[in-house]
């Protein structure tokens, strides 16, 4: 082992650095650091890099690099004195090149390489931060299934849908007229009025979350829910334990009707993804929304008539 390499290694060990630590500090490959400590300069990429790497090694372990290079210059290949003597034996043009600014540039090259490496790392970190900031934020628990409209559904023919709506209404009106006429024969006016007065739905009370409105259904022993859909909207029905009651919870399209018999329940929460496109009926009685917001929860508390 060369004396210069021995001195550098002792300084490294006194600092408590391993070769891996020194590689991280100086950015010099580990095999070159071993070559310096063993005096094996033949593995270096060139005589210039021998001096440059020794300077970086010495600075990292707290030694005077210039003093070391001067003291052990006889051990180093291609010292400045040898370069000058070789230049004197060659042409004047080569002698000028050896003394020119290119030598300083070569000495500064390792520092330039380290600087470029640091710049590349900064750019990579910046790009990663930008891509992270552009990530889409998470949304509330129920929202994904509510806003994912059926992209495979065929476009709605507005004119045909309007005609179907008119036909359905006409049929409904005819059926209702027939039922009313039968009821008028079977029931006296007083009995029919008494039956209509029985059911009562309270005015909606808006809860603290701002998205939920509670109603109370009384005066009846039936609890049937019907929702008529006029445009794409998510619909779900849950019980008080937040279990899904509706077997087909999804986004419904215009013209579809959701019907569910909740008579066995004393509580039902109806989730509407777009309340403007869904009309709720309780026992065929239209429910008046207490607030006009797009996505809302409608809670019906059922006090069954005994």
Q: For the chain, give the mean pLDDT.
A: 80
Q: What is the model's pLDDT at position 197?
A: 53
Query: Per residue in 1-48, pLDDT tens?
Result: 578 889 999 999 998 999 999 999 999 999 999 998 998 888 888 888
Q: What is the model's pLDDT at position 158?
A: 72
Task: Identify whether the C-beta of residue 145 lies closer than 8 Å to the C-beta of residue 250.
Answer: yes
pTM metric for this prediction: 0.39
Q: What is the model's pLDDT at position 168?
A: 82
Query: Per residue in 202-213, pLDDT tens?
Result: 988 999 998 999
Task: Identify whether the C-beta of residue 278 lies closer than 8 Å to the C-beta of residue 228.
Answer: yes
Task: Identify whether the C-beta of residue 220 lies closer than 8 Å to the C-beta of residue 198.
Answer: yes
Q: Which of 176-185, 267-276, 297-306 has the highest mean pLDDT?
A: 267-276
Which residues are paired to 228 by β-bridges? 257, 279
Task: Identify whether the C-beta of residue 83 lies closer than 8 Å to the C-beta of residue 98.
Answer: yes
Of 60, 52, 164, nearest to 112 (Cα)?
Answer: 52
| Residue 155 pLDDT grade (very low, low, confident, very high; cuts 50, 70, 90) | low
Measure the CA–CA gap between 199 and 205, rounded to whole angstroms. Answer: 18
218: phi then psi, degrees, rounded to nearest 5 = -135, 170
The yes-or-no verdict on residue 143 having pLDDT over 50 is: no
Task: Identify whether the C-beta of residue 161 lies closer than 8 Å to the C-beta of residue 255.
Answer: yes
> Could you give the C-alpha distances from 190 to 94, 179, 194, in angstroms and in order?
124, 17, 6
Q: How many CB atoms lie within 10 A of CB 21?
A: 13
Of 15, 122, 25, 2, nearest to 73 (Cα)?
Answer: 2
Measure the CA–CA gap between 62 and 65, rounded to whole angstroms. Answer: 9
Measure the CA–CA gap between 242 and 237, rounded to whole angstroms. Answer: 9
Measure the CA–CA gap between 37 and 170, rounded to whole angstroms. Answer: 99
From the CA atom positions of the chain, what is the Rg in Å? 43
Task: Identify whether the C-beta of residue 281 lies closer than 8 Å to the C-beta of residue 258.
Answer: no
| Residue 171 pLDDT grade (very low, low, confident, very high; cuts 50, 70, 90) | confident
| Residue 216 pLDDT grade (very low, low, confident, very high; cuts 50, 70, 90) | very high
Q: What is the model's pLDDT at position 222?
A: 93
The yes-or-no verdict on residue 283 having pLDDT over 80 is: yes
What the block records as the tokens of 56 is 């970086």
> Could you give the C-alpha distances from 47 to 61, 101, 264, in angstroms and in order?
22, 18, 92
Q: What is the model's pLDDT at position 257?
A: 95
Task: Identify whether the C-beta of residue 66 lies closer than 8 Å to the C-beta of residue 94.
Answer: no
> Going edge to edge, which strands form the sheet with 278-282?
257-261, 224-229, 278-282, 285-286
The yes-or-no verdict on residue 88 having pLDDT over 50 is: no
The yes-or-no verdict on residue 178 having pLDDT over 50 is: yes
Q: What is the model's pLDDT at position 121?
A: 95
> Could you give the C-alpha distances from 33 to 25, 53, 75, 167, in angstroms and in order?
12, 8, 16, 90
Q: What is the model's pLDDT at position 172?
A: 76
């Amino acid at each position: 082992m060369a004396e210069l390499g021995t001195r550098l290694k002792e300084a490294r060990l006194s600092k408590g650095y391993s070769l891996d630590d020194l590689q991280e500090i100086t950015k010099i490959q580990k095999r070159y650091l071993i070559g310096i400590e063993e005096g094996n300069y033949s593995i270096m990429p060139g005589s210039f890099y021998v001096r440059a790497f020794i300077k970086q090694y010495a600075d990292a372990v707290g030694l005077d690099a210039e003093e070391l290079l001067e003291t052990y210059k006889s051990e180093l290949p291609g010292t400045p004195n040898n370069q000058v003597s070789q230049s004197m034996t060659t042409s004047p043009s080569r002698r000028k090149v050896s003394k020119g600014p290119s030598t300083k540039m070569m000495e500064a090259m390792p520092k330039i390489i380290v600087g470029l490496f640091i710049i590349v790392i900064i750019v990579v970190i910046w790009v990663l931060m930008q891509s992270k900031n552009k990530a889409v934020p998470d949304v509330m628990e129920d929202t994904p299934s509510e806003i994912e409209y059926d992209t495979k559904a065929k476009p709605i023919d507005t004119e045909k849908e309007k005609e179907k709506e008119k036909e359905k209404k006409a049929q409904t009106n005819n059926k209702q007229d027939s039922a009313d006429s039968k009821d008028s024969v079977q029931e006296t006016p007083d009995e029919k009025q008494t039956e209509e007065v029985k059911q009562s739905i309270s005015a909606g009370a808006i809860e603290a979350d701002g998205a939920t409105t509670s109603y109370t259904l009384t005066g009846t022993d039936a609890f049937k829910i019907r929702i008529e859909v006029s445009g794409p909207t998510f619909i779900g029905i849950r019980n008080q334990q937040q279990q899904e009651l509706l077997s087909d919870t999804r986004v419904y399209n215009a013209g579809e009707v959701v019907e569910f018999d909740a008579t066995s329940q004393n509580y039902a929460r109806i989730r509407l993804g777009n309340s403007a496109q869904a009309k709720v009926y309780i026992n065929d009685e239209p429910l008046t929304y207490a607030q006009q917001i797009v996505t809302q929860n409608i809670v019906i508390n059922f006090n069954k008539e005994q």
